[in-house]
Amino acid sequence: MTRHRPTPQLAFILLFAMFLLTAQRSFALDPQSEAVKAGAVLFGKSGCTYCHGPAGAGTERAPSLRGVSSRRSDEQIRHQIHDGGQMMPPFGEALTEDEIAQLSAFLQAKDAWDLVPPSK
């Protein structure tokens, strides 16, 4: 069996694609990004705090969401929000795809929990 080595052009394309994916993710995870800020507001207004707590630390009704990005990918987080699962109800009909993306960006952001507006 012969092994094929990638051409320099293919290696460059693969590295560049990896860079773009990483750069896009890091911009979305910036706590100052508009998507993260909007997601924090949605977290506070969409009923998430009822089950997960105002600081996302979990309650007897639902687990902590702090550090969820180390356990779930963006796709998995969006799927969970949209379709629900286990004890979580689906929110796919209550939230738009953009709102689900904002919630996911917020949940993946570092140190963004202080952006959640206080409960009234």
Lowest mean pLDDT among 9-13, 16-20, 47-51: 16-20
Comparing CA positions, the residue from 25, 63, 53, 24 lying closest to residue 113 is: 53
* pLDDT for position 17: 63
* pLDDT for position 26: 45
Contact between residue 27 and residue 16 where contact means Cβ atoms under 8 Å apart: no
Q: Which fold has domain 30-115?
A: Cytochrome Bc1 Complex; Chain D, domain 2 (1.10.760)
pLDDT above 70 covers a percentage of the chain that reads 78
User: Cα(108)–Cα(120) distance, rounded to whole angstroms?
Assistant: 25
Contact between residue 78 and residue 65 where contact means Cβ atoms under 8 Å apart: no
Between 86 and 119, the more confident residue is 86
Between 117 and 64, the more confident residue is 64
Question: What are the distances in angstroms from CA 109 to CA 6, 25, 91?
Answer: 35, 10, 21
